[in-house]
Chains A and B, each alone.
Chain A
């Protein structure tokens, strides 16, 4: 005789793998996302300008806009995103385990992550790098003029290493002022204990915006001495999904290049420019290739904006961070943002 409990246990053992294999088959990310009707997007817990809830608890930022662009392309609605805030340690496992479909969380693209960690990277949406901030009174134009300077730096990070490498490579000397805590480090710099403060350029901009009464008194020098290409990441193994994320971002860059903003996109629908026609789906083809509606890029530009709009709104002149475009300007304007042809 099999008791009721044993029968239940047996049934569970027999049916569980079936149930699981069922979900595994639907697990191809692109189909999975389409089916559930939203993009599960991994973001930073709170990094101002990139991804953070605003005063009303609504997620905003440059990284958040990538999530919204993908949702706009897929569903025609940029709001169809669920956000999973992730800590730095959590982010890669969360993507690998399928907890999120897309990781847009200021993650530096590296060879190891691209290979051993089983990730694919979409195009870089923010080129960051370590830079120097100096007082505008010094009248410096370039980091190469920093010979003999005292430099405020956090200890024990790659930041410290990068500074030493930079000065050695340029045959210059510097005096490091090493301070353990961020707040004290900044205070020391603003009190004039060092000529320059070094950190990631985006950090420097945030520090300048937050901790000075007049941000124009300080200058972030144009040289970046390390490479931090922050890129959205996806799991390997679903090329359709990788393509969609990749081209959703490129569409934002292409729209900026063509001067199409969320305000002018409706007027642009009648543009005679064949590139614009293809981008906005007036000439069909791109949407079918990506497996979404033909007006996918129109939806992105309409609801999220082009890359330049997103940049200015979140980290640029229109935001509290006031970061110059720098490397993140279009290639036509001295930056390295470049979208391959959308055709």
Chain B
């Protein structure tokens, strides 16, 4: 609050005060600003609110007008491109004739974008599998369902997804996983690599703090190695170099190799986030646990981790989101993720001029997932910290 204590330049004394308080409206300790009564959410007239908040200084007036001008010039073309002039169901000729976006390409190519090279007539299976998976993720986020039954449900859902995707039983034709593509690949790669990386990262972070030199060295070495190289090279090693070391005829599934690469990479980054949490726990907590006579694992499991992980929810979710987006790099190893499938959809000469629409659509899909994760993490953070809000 130091800037509030030093009076602003005398050219605009009272307004300057108001402006500096407006930046931190949530601070409960902030003394009410001179304009607080009018500027608050209970303001009666929008006009008055605008005058107080948007036009209260010369600078703010200029900024407001500049923003309005930018909106005035930017919004109408975007709206007309996206909505008004857009072609929704037409042919590519109609798209070429039209001035706006060509959403027909999404209509025509959506099955290719979502499911890649999965057999066309069987594509209800990956659709159902994805729906199950997303529904299950949603259910898992709700506190009321956090009980042992959830693990059983997950096991059932995973088996169900396996049956749907692979088939070969119950009269479903067998679809080997080299034909999988699109959304299922992106979803599975990200969710499985996050799920596997998270426990691994905790072990790595604990190992890095360990007093045993061998364990510490291995963990530090692994983390620094993984953080020192780009994900693309990790994937490349996993998928191109690794098979060269195997004897001829022995191959490990490409999807599995990419998943392993992505998991190890994510684990290294997550481990550093978790270590931040471990280091933030006051020494007294460790000592108190020792004084109670708890062993190492009891101390870690009951005292340290619950507190440490709570602190680092934001960086952890940050990594989750980053991992989700990183899955699009698996195109380098020839996996048909969502973005690769979308890119391939744009190579059709008939529709090639409309690549921007496909990328906008793919971007929207990624945004939906990332934004959901972000909102969920905020809820999780509020819930986890409800007893010790500072």
Contact = CB atoms under 8 A, between A and B. Distances in A.
A325 interface: no
Interface string B226-254: 00000000001001110110111111001
Nearest to B97: A213
Contacts of B115: 57
Contact of B249 (A23, A48, A83, A93): A23
Interface stretch (A24-32, A164-172, A276-284, A295-303): A24-32
Contacts of A56: 111-112, 120
A23 B248 contact: yes
Interface stretch (A68-76, A84-92, A331-339): A84-92
B100 interface: no
B331 interface: yes
A86 B244 contact: no
Given A26-B249, A58-B117, A82-B178, A45 B353 contact: no
Given A84-B254, A89-B240, A98-B248, A45 B349 contact: no
Contacts of B348: 48, 52, 320
A94 B347 contact: no
Contacts of A222: none
Given A23-B248, A26-B249, A89 B332 contact: yes
Interface in A4-54: 20-21, 23-24, 26-27, 32, 45-48, 52-54
A27 B246 CA distance: 13
B249 A32 contact: yes
A23 B111 contact: no
Given A56-B111, A57-B111, A45 B334 contact: yes
Contacts of B331: 45, 87
A15 to B, nearest CB: 14
Nearest to B242: A97
B280 to A, nearest CB: 39
B352 interface: yes
B322 to A, nearest CB: 22
A57 B240 contact: no
Interface stretch (B59-67, B192-200, B336-344): B336-344
Contacts of A210: 349-350, 352-353
Given A53-B112, A59-B117, A46 B347 contact: yes
A211 interface: yes
A53 B344 contact: yes
A1 B64 CA distance: 83
Contacts of A93: 240-241, 243-244
A268 interface: no
B178 A24 contact: no
A188 interface: no
A97 B243 CA distance: 6
A325 to B, nearest CB: 18
Given A20-B250, A57-B115, A90-B240, A320 B347 contact: no
A321 interface: yes
B221 interface: no
Contacts of A180: none
A292 interface: no
B320 to A, nearest CB: 26
B347 A48 contact: yes
B240 A46 contact: no
Contacts of B240: 89-90, 93-94
A184 interface: no
A162 interface: no
B181 interface: yes
Nearest to A237: B248
B116 interface: yes
Interface of B: 96, 108-109, 111-112, 115-120, 123, 176, 178-179, 181, 236, 239-241, 243-244, 246-251, 254, 331-336, 340, 343-344, 347-350, 352-353
Given A57-B118, A94-B334, A321-B349, 9 more contacts: A45-B340, A48-B348, A56-B112, A58-B117, A90-B239, A90-B334, A93-B240, A98-B251, A320-B348
